[in-house]
Chains A and B, each alone.
Chain A
């Protein structure tokens, strides 16, 4: 770690010198302005009036521009896999307090868990535990004996116990995952036993979710709740060797990893952060990065398909869009939405298939239940509400919602069917869908107005606080959920207790549902859990607090230079869920483990017009020494600019 700190310091110094250089420059210019009785306006001009100060200054400026080109560097003999991330930014390395998906992805490569999910999210692969014995109330894990943390200390049952205890603290994000645990016993150094309340979900919720952290390090931490955990010491296949907030995380392979089959093929993985999707996709096209996730736009996907060196991934999605109706009995939204008949009629007036096509060019599928099909508890038997405007209008007529004088239906109580649909302004395709839905509804004489706003403002309306209680004030919102493929926990959004935690945007209240959800958590076999989850989804389909719209495939892209990873992992290989992608990825061209990759600031690996590089030893057009493609171009530009400026100056000063 010493080396790391040293490097950071040096880089920081250089940046400071660079800034200082400019500061000096500005100071001198302003000093000229202050002290010279006849103000010197700008330095370059004065070059011609023979002032020494400005001559020196100009030389300094030019030299600071030229110096970088004089250096010579050696090519790096490492394979680096660069992944661009355009989703929610990284927050912290502390696996117990992070809420960002990308942070979880890093944790899953730096830390080991007791067991891991397989791709189907219903079976498990061994990790720190080489074998296990689970029933409805206890679980015994036998740990591997040769696992060590990155600092060389062995991983023991004490570390496992300590990590689970940290997860059970009240500040921990993972608290709800380990709620069922009643006690943890260390049987011997490599055997640990958990006792818990009867449930079939211990493996999927707890054993796969709790990272095993070194007790000897975390014990010495004052406040684990605010511990930044940098650099994180885990036992996983990668170590974090560099991190710049807002820029990148560098993961280096752990050569001492205990599972030889999972020792990474590449030397380093660099996660680069992008603030938006277009800049990340541009970087992929330019060859600055090798893959991009968690999402690209359908337009980019179509375009990239035609590029010879890029490949597009269309993986099962973990993201879906829905419309939530405000059904809360004491809510402040339009009261007609509390009538189930109205909601069902509105559902009949939404052409989900067409809305799906409209927004995502065939990269999405209609969804009829609240868990996407990549989820292990998705109920495939639910039949959609058929798109039928006549039927919808008839249902409303029969229920007494007659068309009023201004062409808008009025409820028997005299309330107009006028709704506002809230949509996050960051989702243009969702806004389009909402507008289309409003258009369909207008055909059955229901008026809907689409309002796009930032999610903070949306949340302030949906969970409006009045005198300490929460009163949902919206009518309808169109939003999305990312759903963990391995757990049915999203169903908790419809519990009557969830309005106050700011997760329920429908305000659904149904005691039967609450009771059945509890039974599901306490079921003792996986099949029983699944049966209950299916039933819960049927209840939601009948009551319709949510109208699910469509699930979006994980759209990602990568450079064909790399291969070896799964393309159909739920959420895609670069979506933050796939814990295997970084150790599996390898150079497509390489039989040998190490191949030189591009040295600093080399030109892009291959522009879209050139075919992908074939030579295994040089996958890039490698500039050597100082005279690379970039250097000469930049130098030419600078020289041209300087010449131009001088010519203009000469012209101006010669003019009489």
Chain B
């Protein structure tokens, strides 16, 4: 198969996936028991007429198939409708939240990937000795630590020693003098959630990097290269890593795609106003339009990231094209 037709095929599959996800999203949330209007407005003053009026306003009085058709049509045009809770366009609520989430999660993911690769390589090279064991132990530990516990520890540390802000994105109620003071404020609020999230994400990258590199390092051609007298860094960079990178690329793609999905636990612990918390609240409130909008965006970005990974894969490892 030619490379271009491989790419085309991948793009087509991605589009179909997105379409399936759009329809799935609609029914997924409606399986949740509970009626949004009744739940949102548990209010002894509410009359039957008012409940009917609210149902009409949100289109919940229409039959399910009609709601579905309206929803699919609107999703394709990028319209997500009116949030039940905020009574405001979903788009206006999602976009600032998305940006907030990306500011936190993208750097955390990137740093975790870089650190993970660095220590993964180190552990694989020193496999079996003390360096490897300690790196592996730390990675396993961080991978299995509950996010909220780690976050809580950082908060305690901050209250008594570090004196960093422990919640929110910026200090509220002040007018920042200039861009720099705003950035500094943002950055100081970013440190704790960023460190927490990075540590939590770090483990998986290290472990996968280490394992896939060990597989490669035990191959005969590595022994041959060593016997030839290649330097270690040259050996790693030119012979071992390119082959060990393949599993990493898929996991990196998935993680970069999930950047827009928010990090519910970290966002909750540090009161970060991101998408993860929005989704969590929306589930409790049965706010279907928000959920549909958010899941649509997450699905599209994961599919896109995977598409890019597939294309890269085809380039790096021509065998997968066939």
Which chain A positions have C-beta within 8 A of B137?
none
Q: Would B97 and A246 count as touching, CB distance under 8 A?
A: yes
Which chain B positions have C-beta within 8 A of A26?
106, 110, 256
Contact with B along A265-286 (1 / 0, CB 8 A): 0001010111110010011011
Which chain A positions have C-beta within 8 A of B103?
15, 18-19
Q: Would B273 and A247 count as touching, CB distance under 8 A?
A: yes
Q: Which residue of A lies closest to B85 (CB)?
A: A91
CA of A38 to CA of B39, assembled, Å: 58
Interface: B69 (CB within 8 A): no
Q: Would A455 and B39 count as touching, CB distance under 8 A?
A: yes
Interface: A588 (CB within 8 A): no
Q: Would B114 and A501 count as touching, CB distance under 8 A?
A: no
CB distance from B208 to the nearest CB of A (A): 14
Most-contacted residue by chain B among A15, A43, A648 (CB, 10 A):
A15
Interface: A121 (CB within 8 A): no
**Beta-carbon contacts under 8 Å, A1-33 to B:** 7, 10-12, 14-16, 18-19, 22-23, 25-26, 29-30, 33
CB distance from A22 to the nearest CB of B (A): 5
Interface: B242 (CB within 8 A): yes
Q: Given A171-B53, A246-B278, are A94 and B87 also a contact pair (CB < 8 Å)?
A: yes
Interface: B133 (CB within 8 A): no
**Beta-carbon contacts under 8 Å, A44-76 to B:** 44-45, 49, 65, 67-71, 73-74, 76
Q: Would A99 and B48 count as touching, CB distance under 8 A?
A: no
Interface: A109 (CB within 8 A): no
**Beta-carbon contacts under 8 Å, A194-211 to B:** none
Interface: B129 (CB within 8 A): no
The answer, among A18, A177, A455, for a CB contact under 8 Å with B45, is A177
In the complex, identify which listed stretch (B3-11, B18-26, B28-36) lies at the interface while the others stay far away: B28-36
Interface: B186 (CB within 8 A): yes
**Beta-carbon contacts under 8 Å, A232-273 to B:** 242, 244-248, 250, 268, 270, 272-273
**Beta-carbon contacts under 8 Å, B96-144 to A:** 96-97, 99-100, 102-103, 106-107, 110, 114, 117-118, 121-122, 125
Which chain B positions have C-beta within 8 A of A288?
165-168
Q: Which residue of B lies closest to A460 (CB)?
A: B33
The answer, among B32, B165, B179, B189, for a CB contact under 8 Å with A14, is B179
Q: Would B174 and A456 count as touching, CB distance under 8 A?
A: no
Q: Would B231 and A503 count as touching, CB distance under 8 A?
A: no
Interface: A130 (CB within 8 A): no
**Beta-carbon contacts under 8 Å, A607-656 to B:** 607-609, 629-631, 633-634, 637, 645, 648-649, 652-653, 655-656
CB distance from B46 to the nearest CB of A (A): 6
Q: Would A244 and B96 count as touching, CB distance under 8 A?
A: yes
CA of A396 to CA of B277, assembled, Å: 49
Which chain B positions have C-beta within 8 A of A245?
86, 93, 96-97, 273
Q: Given A38-B237, A39-B242, A274-B271, are A170 and B172 also a contact pair (CB < 8 Å)?
A: no
CA of A12 to CA of B114, assembled, Å: 28
Q: Would A34 and B312 count as touching, CB distance under 8 A?
A: yes
The answer, among A34, A41, A92, A458, for a CB contact under 8 Å with B237, is A41
The answer, among B159, B181, B231, B232, for a CB contact under 8 Å with A608, is B159
Interface: A599 (CB within 8 A): yes
Which chain B positions have C-beta within 8 A of A501?
38, 46-48, 51
Interface: A308 (CB within 8 A): no
Which chain B positions have C-beta within 8 A of A652?
121-122, 125, 233
Interface: A122 (CB within 8 A): no
* A contact residues, range: 35 or more
Q: Would B163 and A604 count as touching, CB distance under 8 A?
A: yes
Q: Would B53 and A286 count as touching, CB distance under 8 A?
A: no
Q: Would B165 and A601 count as touching, CB distance under 8 A?
A: yes
Q: Would A655 and B232 count as touching, CB distance under 8 A?
A: yes
The answer, among B57, B121, B245, for a CB contact under 8 Å with A225, is B57
CA of A272 to CA of B253, assembled, Å: 35
Q: Would B256 and A279 count as touching, CB distance under 8 A?
A: no
Q: Would B273 and A244 count as touching, CB distance under 8 A?
A: yes
Interface: B178 (CB within 8 A): yes
Contact with A along B38-75 (1 / 0, CB 8 A): 11111111111111011001000000000000000000
CA of A80 to CA of B270, assembled, Å: 22
CB distance from A102 to the nearest CB of B (A): 13
Contact with A along B239-268 (1 / 0, CB 8 A): 001100100000000001000000000011
Contact with A along B80-91 (1 / 0, CB 8 A): 001001111000
Which chain A positions have C-beta within 8 A of B87?
91-92, 94, 97, 226, 228
CA of A25 to CA of B110, assembled, Å: 9
Contact with A along B154-176 (1 / 0, CB 8 A): 01001110111111111111111
Which chain B positions have C-beta within 8 A of A18?
103, 183, 186
CB distance from B261 to the nearest CB of A (A): 16
Which chain B positions have C-beta within 8 A of A653?
233
Q: Would B268 and A276 count as touching, CB distance under 8 A?
A: yes
Q: Would B33 and A457 count as touching, CB distance under 8 A?
A: yes
Most-contacted residue by chain B among A22, A599, A649 (CB, 10 A):
A22
Q: Which residue of B lies closest to A44 (CB)?
A: B114
Contact with B along A435-462 (1 / 0, CB 8 A): 0000000000000000000111111110
Interface: B15 (CB within 8 A): no
Interface: A490 (CB within 8 A): yes
CA of A73 to CA of B50, assembled, Å: 51
Q: Would A502 and B44 count as touching, CB distance under 8 A?
A: no
CA of A273 to CA of B267, assembled, Å: 13
Interface: B286 (CB within 8 A): yes
Interface: B222 (CB within 8 A): no
Interface: B225 (CB within 8 A): no
The answer, among B43, B54, B166, B278, for a CB contact under 8 Å with A283, is B166
Q: Would B273 and A22 count as touching, CB distance under 8 A?
A: no
Interface: A463 (CB within 8 A): yes
Q: Would A457 and B34 count as touching, CB distance under 8 A?
A: yes
The answer, among A68, A603, A637, for a CB contact under 8 Å with B183, is A68
Q: Would A250 and B172 count as touching, CB distance under 8 A?
A: yes
CA of A23 to CA of B139, assembled, Å: 26
List 10 extra interface pairs beyond A247-B273, A630-B164, CB under 8 A: A15-B103, A22-B110, A39-B316, A43-B114, A44-B114, A245-B93, A461-B33, A489-B45, A501-B48, A604-B163
12 examples of A-B residue contacts, CB within 8 angstroms? A12-B99, A22-B110, A34-B312, A42-B114, A282-B167, A286-B159, A490-B44, A502-B35, A630-B164, A630-B165, A631-B184, A634-B188
- Which 9 residue pairs of A and B lie closest in terms of their CB atoms, listed nearest first? A71-B180, A456-B34, A460-B33, A270-B173, A502-B38, A603-B163, A68-B184, A246-B273, A248-B172
